Chain A
Amino acid sequence: EVQLVESGGGLVGPGGSLRLSCAASGFTFSTYSMNWVRQAPGKGLEWVSSISSSSSYIYYADSVKGRFTISRDNAKNSLYLQMNSLRAEDTAVYYCARSHSSGWNDYWGQGILVTVSS
């Protein structure tokens, strides 16, 4: 059974940093691209970042470029999102999602809440 479990969320002040982790199991993690998708309270889904299976290709939404860094450790079956210079508008539930080779997200984690507030 495919499982994706996010951790590392919480409350942080504006300008602060957080590192999200996503532990993957039930599939061969090293062969899949992975994504982070977020959802602000009461709002729609927003794609944040993608990383290819071998980390060769990395993409970011303009809203987080230069502040967030996606990475992965295939030996540990883990995906990460380092979030720096956090802003109030980054407040959201962050989902880790597995990406099919053609781009759609076929499995999602339960999500982790990040709150940026003083």
Chain B
Amino acid sequence: DIQMTQSPSSLSASVGDRVTITCRASQGITNYLAWYQQKPGKVPKLLIYAASTLQSGVPSRFSGSGSGTVFTLTISSLQPEDVATYYCQECNSAPRTFGQGTKVEIK
């Protein structure tokens, strides 16, 4: 099974900062990777799919990159409404493993 490792597990940044979250797959998954945002007490929401394609309605300050085994989610200018936990998920094959999550807070 493919293992997904996210780093960091949590971060605290100021409004307007550039934030980067990394997700590493234990084996190559080409671009079969999705990112989700889960705000406290809410349902997960798809942010990015196919590693770099923004889901409709997602602000353009979010972007994704990577291929193979290393992927990144970047928030170009952190906003208060971005406080959430972010998860990557490999979509290459079952089991569709999630990363352990990265909790983003405002400093």
Interface residues of A, Cβ cutoff 8 Å to B: 35, 37, 44-47, 50, 59, 61-62, 95, 100, 102-106, 108-111
Complex interface: chain A residues within 8 A of B32 (CB): 102-103
A50 engages B55 (CB within 8 Å) = no
Q: What is the bound-complex CA distance between A106 and B92, given in angstroms? A: 15
Are A45 and B101 in contact, CB atoms less than 8 angstroms apart?
A: yes
Give the secondary structure class of B's interface. Answer: loop
Q: Would you call B89 an interface residue if the criterion is a C-beta within 8 Å of the partner chain's C-beta atoms?
A: yes
Knowing A102-B49, A103-B32 are in contact, say whether A111-B43 is a contact too (CB < 8 A).
yes
| Bound form: Cα–Cα A47–B95 in Å | 7
Partner of B98, one of A45, A59, A62, A109: A45
Interface residues on B, range: 20 to 34
**A104 in contact with B46 (CB, 8 Å):** yes
Any chain A CB within 8 A of the CB of B75?
no
Which residues of chain A are within 8 angstroms of B89 by Cβ–Cβ distance?
A: 45, 47, 104-105
Question: Are B101 and A50 neighbours in the complex by a CB distance under 8 Å?
Answer: no
Give the distance to chain B from A69, nearest Cβ to Cβ, in Å: 16
Closest residue to B9 on the A side, CB-wise?
A44
> Which A-chain residue is minimally distant from B99 (CB atoms)?
A44
- Residues on A with C-beta less than 8 A from B34 are 103-105
Given contacts A108-B44, A109-B43, A111-B43, A103 and B87 within 8 Å (CB-CB): no
Whether a CB of chain A sits under 8 angstroms from the CB of B71 is no
A91 to chain B, nearest CB (A): 17
Say whether A59 contacts B43, CB under 8 Å.
Answer: no
